Amino acid sequence: PPTNPQTKLSPHVLKLRTTSPKFINHALKAQPAAAPTGPYFFYGTLADPSLLAEILGLVDGTPHLRPAYLLGYACKLWGQYPALVEAGPGSVVHGFVYEVRTRADGERLALYETENYRAERCRIQFLGGE
């Protein structure tokens, strides 16, 4: 007799039913990306040169921080910590830029900030038009 199309299982449903639960119920963890190098904009505790030098293990003195700002962002408190959020075009956040030259330094900064913060591309404006 012909099969009832209403009871025929699709290959996708059949595959799901025969797959071990350990593969269905657990999300795959993404591999963390390598810490980026380049200019980092700091607006909170990392804008303190002595703290930044301590985190990076700089033995040759104070890190070179350049005054800068971001347009289109605002600084909001997330609990007790400041966080950047996108805002209107007239919004400005002032801070400093430090040139991260090695992945190891980028990783040190990521470790200090924990997984609650991330490095993200943005357009940095330097004070003095640089």
- State the pLDDT at residue 80: 86
Q: Do 98 and 52 contact (CB within 8 A), yes or no?
A: yes
3-state secondary structure 16-75: HHHCCHHHHCCCCCCCCCCCCCEEEEECCHHHCHHHHHHHHCCCCCCCCCEEEEEECEEE
Helix (H) or strand (E) holding 84: strand 81-86
**Cα dihedral 82/75/130/100 (nearest 10):** 30
Average pLDDT value for the chain: 82
Q: Where are the domains of the chain?
A: 38-126
Position 1 pLDDT exceeds 60: no
The pTM (predicted TM-score) of the whole model is 0.69
pLDDT tens column, 9-59: 666 666 666 766 665 555 555 555 667 889 999 998 899 999 999 999 998
- State the pLDDT at residue 87: 93
Specify the fold of 38-126. Hypothetical upf0131 protein ytfp (3.10.490)
